[in-house]
Amino acid sequence: MSYHRCSLKSWHTFGINVYANNIVIATSTASLFYQCQKQDYQKDEPILLLGQGSNVLFLQDFNGKVLINRIKGISIVEKTNSWLLHVGAGENWHQLVKTTLDKGLGGLENLALIPGCVGSAPIQNIGAYDLELDQVCEYVDIIFLSNGEYRRLNTIECCFGYRDSIFKHLYKDPYAVIAVGLKLKKKWRPILTYGHLRYLNSKTVTPIKIFNAVCQMRRSKLPDPRTIGNAGSFFKNPLITSSVASDLFSRYPNISQYLQKDGQVKLSAAQLIDHCLLKGHHIGGAAVYGKQAIVLINTGSASSEDVVNLARIVRQRVAEKFNVWLEPEVCFISATGITDSVKVIT
C-alpha cells in the first residue's frame, strides 16, 4: 500500500502535521527490500523506516520515502528451561507482552504499555521498572536496504547500553530490523525493585499482577498519545560519575540516585525537571506535561519549532541548577533523515 505526498500526522504519536514525499506500508521482508530497490533509492532519495512513530520528532517535512514496517508473526518454541520467541518487527510491543502473558509466559510484564513496535525495541534498548530488553533478547535479525543482505546479531553483537545499541552507531547505513528473538525463562523471578512494585509480595505475586501494576502506574502519569500528542519520555535519565553524584547529593540530598553496575550513577530526569518547577511550562502549542515532567506534549497546535524551543529551555534550566546536561531520548528527524538531537537543542 502506497500514499503520495501524504501527511505524517497520523503516523507518529506527537501528531505534528508534517509531510513526506511517499508513505509505503511493507508487510514482508521482500516488499520492504523491493521498495528500496525502486528508482527512488537509486536517485538517493532519503528513506526512513517507522514502526508506530512513538519515539520520533519530525523537525520538518521529510523529503523522501517513509516505509511503515508491518512485518508480523509470533512463533514460540519450548525448550527445557525456557521459551524462545521469534517476533516480526511490525508487531505491537504491548500486544506482544499481553500475548505472552495470555499464554502463561512471564518475563516481559515490567515492559508493559511501552509504545511502539517490536522492531524499535532493540534500537532503543527499551526498558522500564528495572528491566531492559537486552536481559531477554537473544538476537536481532536485520537486512541492509542497499543490497538485501541478511544478518543475525546476538546480544553481545548488539552492543546494548542504556537506551543505546549498535543500531544507533555502526548500522546507521540504511537497514531494517525484520525480527527479534526473545528468551523467557521458565523459572520466573519477579522484578520488584522500582516504584510501587516494591510493595507487592514477592511470595504471592504473579506476572499478571505485575503487568496490571505497571499499567496502572504508567497510565496514572503518562498521557495517552491517542488524545494528547507526545513521544513518551522526551529525555534520557542522565548518567553521571560517582564523584559528581556525591557533590550533587551534598547540595541536594533529596535527589534520587541509582547506582549502576559500571559504577556510574543514574538520576531521574523527571525529578530534575520537576525541581526546576517546569511542569506546565509551555511555548506555543508545546508544554511540559503536568503529571510527568519528563514528557513534552502537543496541546493540539504545536509546531516542531515549539517542541524544540521548549526542550532547549528545559535542558538549559536543568543545567543551570544541577550542572547536568540532559539528552533527548526522542529521535529527531530532519528533511533527509535522523539528525543529532543534542545539537538541535544546544
Sketch the domain layout of the chain as residue ranges: 6-69, 74-221, 229-345
Instruction: Say which range, 21-25, 39-43, 99-103, has the weakest mean pLDDT.
Output: 39-43
Model confidence at 2: pLDDT above 60: no
The one-letter code for the residue type at 200 is L
Q: Is it the case that residue 40 has pLDDT exceeding 60? A: no
Among all chains, which residue has been given the C-alpha cell 528527524?
333
pLDDT attached to residue 100: 98
Q: What is the 3-state secondary structure (H, E, C) of 23-47?
A: EEEECCHHHHHHHHHCHHHHCCCCE
Fold of 6-69: 3.30.43
Q: Which three-class secondary structure state does DSSP give residue 48?
A: strand
pLDDT at 295: 98
Q: Is the pLDDT of residue 178 over 60?
A: yes
| Catalytic residue (one of 54, 165, 233, 341) | 233
pLDDT band at residue 342 under the 50/70/90 scheme = very high
Strands of 175-185's sheet, edge to edge? Answer: 74-78, 82-88, 175-185, 137-144, 150-154
| 163 flagged as catalytic | yes
CATH 3.40.50.300 for the 74-221 domain, yes or no:
no
Q: What is the pLDDT of residues 108-120, one digit of tens each?
A: 999 999 999 999 9
Query: Which among 26-40, 142-156, 202-216 has the top mean pLDDT?
Result: 202-216
Query: Is 223 within 8 Å of 289 (Cβ atoms)?
Result: yes
Q: Which of 54, 303, 329, 341 is catalytic?
A: 329
User: What pLDDT is stored for residue 171 in this prediction?
Assistant: 63
- State what percent of residues in the chain have pLDDT above 90: 83
Per CATH, 6-69 and 229-345 having the same topology is answered no
Taking only the tens place, the pLDDT of each residue in 122-175 is 999 999 999 999 999 999 999 988 888 999 999 999 999 989 999 988 765 578
Residue 136 burial (CB count, 10 A) = 21
Q: How far apart are CA 117 and CA 281, in angstroms?
A: 31
CATH class of this structure's domain 229-345: alpha beta
Choosing from 163, 218, 315, 317, the catalytic residue is 163
329 is an active site residue: yes
Average pLDDT over the chain, rounded to whole? 93
SS3 196: helix
pLDDT band at 43 (very low <50, low <70, confident <90, very high): low
Count of H-run helices and E-run strands, the chain = 9, 21
142 and 153 in contact (C-beta within 8 Å)? yes
pLDDT score for 173? 58
pLDDT tens string 281-305: 999 999 999 999 999 999 999 999 9
pLDDT tops 90 at residue 278: yes
220 catalytic per annotation: no
Between 120 and 36, the more confident residue is: 120
Per-residue buried b or exposed e for 252-266, using 16+ beta carbons within 10 Å of the residue's own CB: eeebeeeeeeeebbb
Provide the pLDDT for residue 86: 98
How high is the pLDDT of residue 39? Answer: 44
The pTM (predicted TM-score) of the whole model is 0.89
More confident residue, 328 or 46: 328
Q: Tell me what the mean pLDDT of segment 191-220 comes to.
A: 95
Residue type for 259, please?
A: L
